[in-house]
A and B are shown apart, each in its own frame.
Chain A
Amino acid sequence: MYKILEAKELTPNIYYMVVEAKRVARSCQPGQFVIVRTDERAERIPLTICDYDREKGTVTIVFQVVGAGTEFMSHLKTGDAFHDFVGPLGQPSELVHEDKEELKKKKILFVAGGVGTAPVYPQVKWLHENGIDADVIVGAKTKSILILEKEMEAVAGRLFVTTDDGSYGRSGMVTQTITDLVNEGNHYDVCIAIGPMIMMKFVCKLTKELNIPTVVSLNPIMVDGTGMCGACRVTVGGEVKFACVDGPEFDGLQVNFDEAMQRQQIYKTAEGRAYLAAKEGATHHGGCGNCGGND
């Protein structure tokens, strides 16, 4: 069992947990992820490592409730425990391997969307600790679901917050802010975009035009996270890759996003039912007209 030392709600839909997981904390790097299970019937849920403390042996995760699995997780409180917590999985961000002096010469732009702010944070923090200031754009639909603003502010070179509805910070999508920054004369050597698949798709469309190499972190459906099942396969530069072992970060300008988004839909109906069952208990037996199921 993996004890939850701290659990809190960041927004009504996004949760933050610090979990005791000594082996993961000892060996993880920014960009990697874990897979967790709440109990012995639960799904295996992949989540990016948001922060870690090697001394205390803890790992921080931040997740958004989107379906049955994350709904169950959201009920866990401080003092509860995860049944399973495995990692670190996937490749560390390329940044970690790069020569620090070379890195210092680069202008880096991070683009975080929604809960994607969480996985961006450890990378910005790592750069900050190595004396490198990066520009960070954080986008959210609306002010109430903005997360980790203070934490990010503390480690980012410049932080630009934008909301789709203009309720806080700048107004509009993250792509608008990227365009503005570039028009204001900012030059970027590399962009790292993490957020919903659709956001990453449009960021890459723009950065391709602007000639900015872009790294994205993909979140396809996964089961084992060790290369065993192939559920996570994505097409990058015309080649099939397993996101759990080859990624999750890839050259965004090469990713086939349309295919990746389509593959995320595979279990949509089945999952929708599971979610309703989780929320309403055993009362959902179809007939709601939404899920198409009676079984």
Chain B
Amino acid sequence: MDVLKKTPVREQDAKVRATNFEEVCLGYNGEEAKEEASRCINCKNAQCMKGCPVSINIPGFIEKVKNDDIEGAYQIISESSALPAVCGRVCPQESQCEGKCIRGIKGEPISIGKLERFVADWASENGIKPQGAAEKNGKKVAVIGSGPAGLTCAGDLAKMGYDVTIFEALHEAGGVLVYGIPEFRLPKTRVVAKEIENVKSLGVKIETNVVVGKSVTIDELLNEEGFDAVFIGSGAGLPKFMGIPGEQANGVFSANEYLTRSNLMKAFNEDSNTPIMRGKKVAVVGGGNVAMDAARTALRLGSEVHIVYRRSEEELPARVEEVHHAKEEGIIFNLLTNPVEILEDEKGWVKGIRCIKMELGEPDESGRRRPVEVPGSEFVIDVDTVIMSLGTSPNPLISSTTKGLEINKRKCIVAAEENGQTSKEGVYAGGDAVTGAATVILAMGAGKAGAKGIDEYLRNK
């Protein structure tokens, strides 16, 4: 064993997995996990923990893995995280925990995410549940949205003894974990549903098919349905389009629509009644996790897929692992390329996408070098499907129907970072609804902060 290198993780072969929706990464077995754990030097002043937004006791749980006490490892993780099987799979570890790991200075950091996943999967297979709720304190809290922010907030509050109900607009709980992130990265039945069951086992009720702002308002929840406080974890679900000619053509979709059809509605499965377009050639516009997910879904549905991204490889916002997997599977990257028009045939169907080449100029506000057009470099990629993956913003449904709830210029709800408090009394918020599209673990961190804030508020009320 080379202590400078990560213990390799088993994966489905790229050629095989490009044709199925099974999970790509197979994870560690007990032996591999122990080997990887043994690389951790159990730092006193563990830097890795500073990179984890929920401050999991990383050396603590890894020590337990070394000593074959996986249940003990799980209890340590559970103190800080309600969704370890999810985070172990989807956190951008390279810029968080693993990015700070001491081992990473000379060699490769510890595979913290893969170890976390191993522990969580083991616990789930062995029927270990997080520690049960304290005695009920008789106070009611409503949580809006069942994504990572809402689930975490609800779980924490239930553990403190609150009577918690989650209201979810869709017919299934999980937020982006069920409608956005694909099965091959995050299995729905085996992983997401189990984690949601864990939250429910703490006594949390989930009412699906309730669109807050339409079916019921926050004021009604507080004044008529007897809730003492509300947490808003409604995410950032509104898709952006480019506003270029041809965007209304048949065959142009938002990544949200495409992924929702495949993930939530299971359109990849012959059994499902929801249709999905299986294009011959697909252009996915964008370079984030969402773009990679849409591209790899299209590939699995039988399409040739091009990622069209206006900056260079270095700036791709997606997780490194996803870009790597996408390339292995045969996704074609058209980098430093920006669409200017979608071409339609005489019946209104997409027949191509006209793009212009870009080059990197001076750094912009984000610190990344600004892409500028190369004059006269336009060219056409002939595709029959275009998937727009340009980012999302919070849905105004809640802010526009709640009196006294302040939002900022980007339509995000204004809430204090340390406790989620909004401008409206008794109303707390966190996750993508507050920050704009971010990550699962940041949303969970905000859910935790919100639970703490609500607890303090209700204890002092």
Contacts and interface: CB of A to CB of B under 8 A. Distances in A.
Interface stretch (B70-78, B208-216, B356-364): B208-216
B170 A41 contact: no
Q: DSSP class of B's interface residues: helix, strand, loop or mixed?
A: loop
Nearest to B239: A230
Contact of A69 (B209, B215, B273): B273
A230 B397 contact: no
A37 B211 CA distance: 16
Contact of B271 (A26, A41, A228, A266): A41
A198 interface: no
A229 B169 contact: no
A223 B255 CA distance: 13
A147 B342 CA distance: 43
Contact of B395 (A24, A89, A228): A228
A217 B443 CA distance: 38
B17 interface: no
B214 A224 contact: no
A263 B397 contact: no
A87 interface: yes
* Residue with the highest number of chain B CB atoms closer than 10 Å, among A84, A231, A271: A231
B250 A86 contact: no
Contacts of A116: none
Interface in A266-291: 266-267, 270-271, 274, 278
Interface residues of B, number: 38
A244 to B, nearest CB: 11
Given A227-B238, A229-B254, A88 B171 contact: no
Interface in B368-405: 395, 397
Given A263-B248, A263-B250, A223 B265 contact: yes
Q: DSSP class of A's interface residues: helix, strand, loop or mixed?
A: mixed
Given A87-B214, A233-B248, A227 B273 contact: no
B261 A223 contact: yes
A294 interface: no
A41 B272 contact: yes
Given A226-B395, A265-B250, A274-B275, A86 B256 contact: no
B257 interface: yes
Contacts of B238: 227-228
Give the contact-size bracket for chain A: 35 or more
B211 A226 contact: yes
A56 B128 CA distance: 44
Contacts of A227: 237-238, 395, 397
A226 B169 contact: yes
Nearest to A263: B250
A83 interface: yes
A44 interface: yes
B260 A223 contact: yes
Nearest to A267: B275
A179 B276 CA distance: 42
Nearest to A22: B215
Interface string B400-440: 00000000000000000000000000000000000000000
A267 B272 CA distance: 14
A231 B271 CA distance: 22
Interface string A45-74: 000000000000000000000001100100
Given A86-B209, A226-B169, 5 more contacts: A27-B215, A86-B169, A227-B395, A240-B247, A259-B348
